[in-house]
């Protein structure tokens, strides 16, 4: 099993550009989520999904879009990049009972994004 | 809504000394509590979790944590620090569909 994979590992964007961060898991997990990690702020939830076709907002959703067309994939789209979106982005997945975040989340290696 | 506070953004201990990382949570319903560890340039991995039942939870690498409802705490301990324990540690709480993380504590081990 590859676990949770993320691409790219590094990305530099100019303000206003758009891009998609890819996330895939091969563990057949229903629950998937995106976090951003900033110094001194821990990890903050951007969006999450409890199954294919179902997504919802987390703590910091503005400027980001997600969709979940398959169980395996959960891409994160930056619509118009801003310097405030410079961060490290982590995707995670877990087994879920009735859509709850009660189980161990498995994290990808992260994408380091810089917006100039 | 649930929240987590980790006391101390940096903790430094000597090799062989006790490690104590503090975590307090806020939740209106019984929480599920987690400790994750992040090594440099890596994702997070689970150290241990509390769901229900026994309040003393043992995890990997000799770490353990005790759930104290009266103090709304879930502090992480290890009796004897090892150089390989140097990392960032995150406490997290879930009562629903969202996992909420604390700010993190960076643990440094002095030889």
Taking CA–CA distances from A9, the nearest residue in chain B reads B41
Under 8 Å CB pairs connecting chains A and B tally to: 59
| Sequence-distant (≥ 6) Cβ neighbours of residue B66 within 8 angstroms | B55, B56, B57, B73, B74, B75, B77
Average pLDDT, chain B: 93
Q: For residue B35, which residues of chain A lie inside 8 Å, CB to CB?
A: none
Q: What is the pLDDT at residue A99? A: 66
Which DSSP category does B61 fall into?
Answer: G
Query: Chunked in runs of 10, what are the mean pLDDT values of chain B (111 residues)?
Result: 91 97 90 93 92 90 94 96 97 88 96 93
Residue A12, pLDDT score: 97
What was the pLDDT predicted at A113?
Answer: 97
Alpha-carbon gap, residue A4 to A27, rounded angstroms: 8
What does the alpha-carbon distance between residue B31 and residue B34 come to, in Å, rounded to a whole number? 10
| Cβ contacts of A35 on chain B, cutoff 8 Å | 101
Tell me the shortest Cα–Cα distance from A39 to chain B, in angstroms: 8
Contact call for B102 and A107, based on CB within 8 A: no
Q: Which residues contact A109 (CB under 8 A, 6 or more apart)?
A: A5, A6, A9, B42, B43
Provide residues of A within 8 Å CB-CB of chain B. 4, 33, 35, 40-45, 48, 50, 56, 58-59, 90, 92, 99-102, 104-105, 107-110
Give the H/E segment covering residue B24: strand B19-26
**Cβ within 8 Å, pair B43-A90:** yes
The minimum CA-CA distance between B47 and chain A, rounded to whole Å, is 10
Closest CA to B40 of A110, A114, A40: A110
Per-residue pLDDT of B41-52, as tens digits, reads: 888 999 999 988
Which strand (E) or helix (H) includes residue B68?
A: strand B64-68
User: What is the SS3 assignment for A46-95?
Assistant: EEEEEECCEEEECCCCCCEEECCCCCCECCEEECCCCHHHCEEEEEEEEC
DSSP state of A105: P
The answer to whether residues A111 and A7 touch, using CB atoms and an 8 Å cutoff, is yes
pLDDT, one tens digit per residue, over A4-62 is 999 999 999 999 999 999 999 999 999 999 999 998 889 999 999 999 999 999 999 99
Q: What was the pLDDT predicted at B1?
A: 76
For residue A58, list chain B residues with Cβ-Cβ distance below 8 A. Answer: 98
């Amino acid at each position: 099993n590859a676990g949770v994979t993320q691409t790219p590992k590094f990305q530099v964007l100019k303000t206003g550009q758009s891009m998609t961060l890819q996330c895939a898991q091969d563990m057949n997990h229903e629950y998937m989520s995106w976090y951003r990690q900033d110094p001194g702020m821990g990890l903050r939830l951007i969006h999450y999904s409890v199954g294919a076709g179902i997504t919802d907002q987390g703590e910091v959703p503005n400027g980001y879009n997600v969709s979940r067309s398959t169980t395996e994939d959960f891409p994160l789209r930056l619509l118009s990049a801003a310097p405030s979106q410079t961060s490290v982005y982590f995707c995670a997945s877990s087994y879920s009972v009735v859509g709850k975040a009660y189980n161990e989340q498995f994290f990808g290696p992260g994408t380091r994004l810089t917006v100039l | 809504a649930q929240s987590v506070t980790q006391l101390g953004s940096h903790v430094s201990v000597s090799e062989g000394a006790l490690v104590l990382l503090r975590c307090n949570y806020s939740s209106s319903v019984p929480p599920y509590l987690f400790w994750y560890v992040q090594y440099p340039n890596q994702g997070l991995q689970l150290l241990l979790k509390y769901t229900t039942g026994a309040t003393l939870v043992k995890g990997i690498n000799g770490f353990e944590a005790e759930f104290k409802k009266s103090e709304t705490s879930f502090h992480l301990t290890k009796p004897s620090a090892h150089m390989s324990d140097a990392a960032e540690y995150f406490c997290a709480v879930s009562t629903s569909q969202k996992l909420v993380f604390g700010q993190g504590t960076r643990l440094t081990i002095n030889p």
